[in-house]
Structure 1
Amino acid sequence: MLSLNLPHNPRIDEIRWLAASLVFFFHFYHHVYAPPIEVLAHPGWTPFSLVTEGHTGVGLFFTLSGFLFMQIALYQAEQRKGLVYREFIRNRFLRIFPLFITVFVIAISIGRDAFRPQDALYVLFSNLGESPTSKYFITGAAWTISVEFAFYLVFPFIARFTLAQGPRYLLQCLGLMLAFKLAAYGVSERSTHMLFSTLVGRFDQFLVGMLAAVVHARFGQELRRHGKVWLLLAALLVTGNIMLQARYASFFLPEPKQAFWITWSLQESLAWSVFILGWLAADLRLPRPLARAMQHGGDISFSLYLLHALVIDLVAQALGKPSWTGQRIVDGLLLAAIAYAATWAVSSLSYATIEKPFLQLRRRYAQ
C-alpha cells in the first residue's frame, strides 16, 4: 500500500518482508522443533544464529519504523509542510488497530473462562503483565504493538525537535535512554526480559532508525557510490552481531540478568540501521518475479508478523514432525516451506480483508 506522505520506495517493502520472515523462522524453529536449551545457550559461531535468535527481526521492524517516519518528516520539511498530529495518529490507528484488535479478540476468546474486565486494558499494554495475547503462542507476537504505538504517540514531537536542533537531539535522547537502562537493570530481577519487551529496552531502536534517516538524507549520494560494498559489510555486521549475542548472551540463557542486554538493543539497531542504509544504497536489480514477491511480502508483512504463529501451530498440529525423507534437516526445511506458504496465503487474505480497506481510509497528515 503506497504512502500518501512520502514517495514510494519498494526497497523499504523488501526490508519489511525480511523482518517478518526472520520472526517467522525463529518461531517455527523453536515451536516446532523445540531444541534442547543447552544447544541454544551454548551454540557455536554459526550464521544459523539468525534463526535461533531470529527475534532480531523485531529490532529490524522498530529500527525501520524510526527510519521511515523520520524520512517522512524530512520530506515534508523539504516541502515546507509539517505533521498534523491528529491526522498522523489517525493514520497509525487505521494501520495497526484493525488487525491487532482481531488478534486480541482471538486471545480473549480462547481464555474466556479466565477473562477479567480489566483485561480489556491490555489493548493498550500488550507487552506488560499477564496480557491475554501473551498467554498463547498463536497470539504472542502482539506484544510489540504497544511498544510501536507508544513510539507513534511521541514521534511527531521528537521529529520536530530533531528538525530544529539537528541529530544532536537524537544523540541526547540516546544518552538518556542509556541512563534509564542502567537504572532499570540495577533494580530489575529479570532484566533480560524487561529490556527485551518494554519501552525502556526498545525505544532507542526507534531513535537509531531516525538517526539513520538523517544520515541517509545527508550522505545518500555518497553511500550509493559504493552501495554494494556497503551492503556486504552491513550484512557481515548484522550476522556477526547476532552470532555474538547467540554465543555469549542468548535470550535463552538461564540467567535472568545479563549486563550485555543493557547495550544489546542499541547495538542491534545500529547494525540494522547500517543494513538499511546499505540495502537502499546498493539498489540491487533483483529478478522481477523475486522483487515483486518481496514487495508483496512487504505489503502483507504486518499480517505475516501477527498471524504467522497461528498458522505455524495449525501446520504443526496437522503434520507433526514428519519423517518424509528420513533426514531431519531436509524434513524440517520441507515443513518450513509448507508452513511459510500457508502463512503467506493467510496473510495475503488478511491484508486484503482486514488491512487494506482501512488503509484506504487514510489521509495526508502533512500541511
Structure 2
Amino acid sequence: MKSLNLPYNPRIDQLRWLAALLVFLFHFYLEYHGRGGVGSDSRWFALATEGHTGVGLFFTLSGFMFMQIALHQKQIVYGEFLRNRLLRIVPLYLTVFLLATSISRDKFVPQDILYLLASNLGLAPTSGTVITGAAWSISLEFTFYLVFPFLARFAMERGMRYLFSLIGLMVFFKVAAFTVNANSTLMYFSTFVGRFDQFFIGMLAAMVVQRHGDLLRRHAGWLLPLAVALVMFDSALQLKVSKFNTDAHSKFWIFWSLLESFGWACLIVCWVSWRGRVPAWLEKVLCHGGKISFSFYLLHMAVIHIVGEWVVTVPVLTGHVRIDGMLGMLIVYGATWALATLCYATIEEPFLRMRRNYAADKGAAVKSIDGHNNQATGS
C-alpha cells in the first residue's frame, strides 16, 4: 500500500503479506487440529504452528514504517496524521465491530460501545466470537498512533537512547505486572505492557537503517539468511519453552516480546536493505497481499471457521493426511484472499483515497504537536 508521505517501498508490503500469512497459518492450524487433523510439534514448522508471531511482525513493522516517515519528513502534523490513521483503520474495524455486536445482540449493553477503544481488554464484543477475534490488536495499534508523533519527535531530538530508555521502562512494567497477574501469558500477548516495546524496537530499526543504510545494503545478502534463521529460532524456542495455549504464567513471557521483535526487526532491516530482486510476477502477487493484508487479517478467521463448520471438518482429498491438510489450507487461503480483495476494494480503498499528506511543509500554517505554529501541507 502506497503512502503519501514516503517513497513507495514494495518490501514493506511484502512483509505485511508475510505477517498476515503467519497469523492465517496459526489459526488454520488451530482449527484443523481442533477438528481432528494431524498436529505437529516439529520445531521446523514452529513459524506456522506459532504463527501468532505475525502479530509481532505487524507491530514491529508499524514502528519501523512510521519512524521512517518521521525521519524522511522531519516533522509530523499531529491532526493530519490522526486523520489518515482514522481513514485507514476505522471503516473496516467499525464494520467488524458492528458484526460482533450483532452476533452478541442479546448480551449487548450500551457501555460495550466503549470497547471500540479497547478491543484487547475485558469482554470486548469482538472477542466474544471467533470470527471477529483478530480485532483485539486494532486498539493497541491506535493507541500507538495517538502517541507516535510525540515519540518520533523525542527520538529524533535525543537519539536512539530515548527509545532504549522506553524499552527499559517497559521491561520494568513487565516484571512488576508478572508478580500480580496469574494469567500473565494473555496479558503480555494482548496489552500495552506486553506489546508496546515491539513498536519501539521497530522505530529503532528505522533509525539503524537511516544511520547505516549503505553498510547494510553492502552486507544484506549474507545477513538476510541469518535474520531468517533468527526468526525461525525464536518460534522454535516459543514452541519448546512456553506454548501460548498451555502456559498461563511463565517467566519466559517477560522477555518474549523483546526476543520476538528483535528477530523481526533484523529481518525487516535486512529485507528492505537487500539489493536482490524477486521475480516480477511474484513481487506483484506479494505486494497485492500486503495491500489487502488488513482486510485479510480481520476476515481470515471467519473464512476458516465457516469452512470448518459448513464445508468439511477435516479435508479428505487424496487419502494422505498431511497432503490433504495442505490442500485444504491452500483452498481456504485462496478463498480468504478473494474475500479480502473484495473487502479492500469495497470498504478500505474509497476511504484511503481521502488521505492527505501529514508531514510539515512550507505551505499553509497549521498547529503542530508542540502547540506552536508551523508550516504544513494539506494535500
TM bucket, shorter chain: over 0.9
Separation in 1 of the partners of 2:72 and 2:10? Answer: 17
Give the secondary-structure state (helix, strand or coil) at the position aligned to 1:128: coil
Structure 2 residue identity aligned to 1:329: R
Correspondence 1:75 to 2:72: yes
In the superposition, the TM-score normalised over structure 2's length comes to: 0.92
Give CA deviations for 1:164-209 in whole Å, capped at 9, x if unaligned. Answer: 0000100000010001111001111111110111011000000000
Which stretches of structure 1, 4 residues or more, deviate above 6 A after TM superposition?
A: none
Separation in 1 of the partners of 2:33 and 2:185? Answer: 24
- Please point out which of 330, 347, 364 is paired with 2:357: 364
Which residue does 1:322 correspond to in 2? 315
Correspondence 1:262 to 2:254: yes
Which residue does 1:66 correspond to in 2? 63
Q: CA deviation at 1:32?
A: 2.4
1:230 touches 1:282 (CA, 8 Å); kept in 2? no
Aligned pairs (5 A) from 1:98-177 = 98-177=91-170
2:59 touches 2:198 (CA, 8 Å); kept in 1? yes
Separation in 2 of the partners of 1:35 and 1:266? Answer: 33
Which residue does 2:372 correspond to in 1? none
Which residue does 2:191 correspond to in 1? 198
Correspondence 1:230 to 2:223: yes
Give CA deviations for 1:106-126 in whole Å, capped at 9, x if unaligned. Answer: 111111111111111111000
Which residue does 2:10 correspond to in 1? 10
Separation in 2 of the partners of 1:32 and 1:119? Answer: 32
Separation in 2 of the partners of 1:315 and 1:288? Answer: 32
Structure 1 residue identity aligned to 2:291: D
Which residue does 1:292 correspond to in 2? 284
Structure 2 residue identity aligned to 1:148: E
Which residue does 1:54 correspond to in 2? 51
Separation in 2 of the partners of 1:257 and 1:35? Answer: 27
Q: CA deviation at 1:2?
A: 1.5
Correspondence 1:345 to 2:342: no
Q: CA deviation at 1:35?
A: 7.6
Separation in 1 of the partners of 2:66 and 2:347? Answer: 23
Which residue does 1:86 correspond to in 2? 79
Give the secondary-structure state (helix, strand or coil) at the position aligned to 1:307: helix
Which residue does 1:184 correspond to in 2? 177
2:35 touches 2:313 (CA, 8 Å); kept in 1? no
Q: CA deviation at 1:31?
A: 1.3
Correspondence 1:313 to 2:301: no
2:66 touches 2:203 (CA, 8 Å); kept in 1? yes
Q: CA deviation at 1:314?
A: 1.9
RMSD, aligned CA: 1.5
Separation in 1 of the partners of 2:342 and 2:273? Answer: 33
What is the aligned residue count? 359
Give CA deviations for 1:255-304 in whole Å, capped at 9, x if unaligned. Answer: 31100000000110000000001111223311111110000001000001
User: Where does the alignment leave 5 or more consecutive residues of structure 2 unmatched?
Assistant: 361-379
Give the secondary-structure state (helix, strand or coil) at the position aligned to 2:121: coil
User: Where does the alignment leave 5 or more consecutive residues of structure 1 unmatched?
Assistant: none
Q: CA deviation at 1:238?
A: 0.4
1:231 touches 1:281 (CA, 8 Å); kept in 2? no
Q: CA deviation at 1:24?
A: 0.5
Which residue does 2:371 correspond to in 1? none
2:35 touches 2:314 (CA, 8 Å); kept in 1? no
Separation in 2 of the partners of 1:339 and 1:35? Answer: 15
Which residue does 2:203 correspond to in 1? 210
Which residue does 2:31 correspond to in 1? 31
Correspondence 1:304 to 2:301: no
Identity, in percent, stands at 56
Structure 2 residue identity aligned to 1:25: L
Give CA deviations for 1:120-168 in whole Å, capped at 9, x if unaligned. Answer: 1111000000111011111000000011100000000000000100001
Give the secondary-structure state (helix, strand or coil) at the position aligned to 2:91: helix
Give CA deviations for 1:217-245 in whole Å, capped at 9, x if unaligned. Answer: 01111011121211100000000111011
Which residue does 1:244 correspond to in 2? 237
Which residue does 2:328 correspond to in 1? 335
Give the secondary-structure state (helix, strand or coil) at the position aligned to 1:258: coil
In the superposition, the TM-score normalised over structure 1's length comes to: 0.95
Separation in 1 of the partners of 2:89 and 2:252? Answer: 32
